Amino acid sequence: MTVANTLSFSKASKELHVSQPTISVQVKNLEQDLGVKLFQQFGKKIYLTEIGIGLSHYAKRIFNLADEAELYISDCKGLSKGKLLIGASTTPGIYLLPQVLGQFKKSCPGIETILEIGNTLEMEEKILTNQLEVALVCGEAPDNKGGVL
């Protein structure tokens, strides 16, 4: 991609901090692997072939997607983006969590919080089936399935 952008093996080698022969070998190997010529040389100048131009458009899209993926991962790691599925029984869901979630939303505005209120058994079932990430209930769950709540 750097050779395509600079149209120069020597400029690409300087930009990438590798030797010019290394760049030449990599381009040659890529052309052999693909079975097509990506560059055409006229005198001391090189040009992208029609296939090289087409491939460079795909490569730019791939690099842009890779950058977006890195930003997405960074956002998720930094708790600046994502979704949190919370369940609660009636009492904590109505009286406790709205204030707590309001404070959380102020400190992490990029995290979408979804609160689902139901009875204790419903919350237990949703935790066990991975429909919720966390649930807050009052009291013990009757017939607790594995001590999850």
Tens digits of residue pLDDT in 47-106: 999 999 999 999 999 989 888 888 877 777 776 778 889 999 988 888 888 888 888 888
Domain 79-136 architecture: 3-Layer(aba) Sandwich (3.40)
**What element of type H or E holds 47?**
strand 45-48
| Band of residue 110 on the pLDDT scale cut at 50, 70, 90 | confident
What are φ and ψ of residue 17, in 5° steps? 60, 45
CA pair distance 97, 118, nearest whole angstrom: 13
Q: How far apart are CA 74 and CA 72, in angstroms?
A: 5
Half-sphere exposure of 64 (CA within 13 A, CB side): 6
Domain 2-76 has CATH 1.10.510.10: no
- Report pTM: 0.53
Q: Where in the chain is the domain with CATH 3.40.190.10?
A: 79-136
Please provide the DSSP assignment of 85-128 as one string.
EEEE-HHIIIIIHHHHHHHHHHH-TTEEEEEEE--HHHHHHHHH
Q: What CA dihedral angle connects 75, 77, 78 and 84, to 10 degrees?
A: 80
pLDDT tens digits, one per residue of 1-57: 999 999 999 999 999 999 999 999 999 999 999 999 999 999 889 999 999 999 999
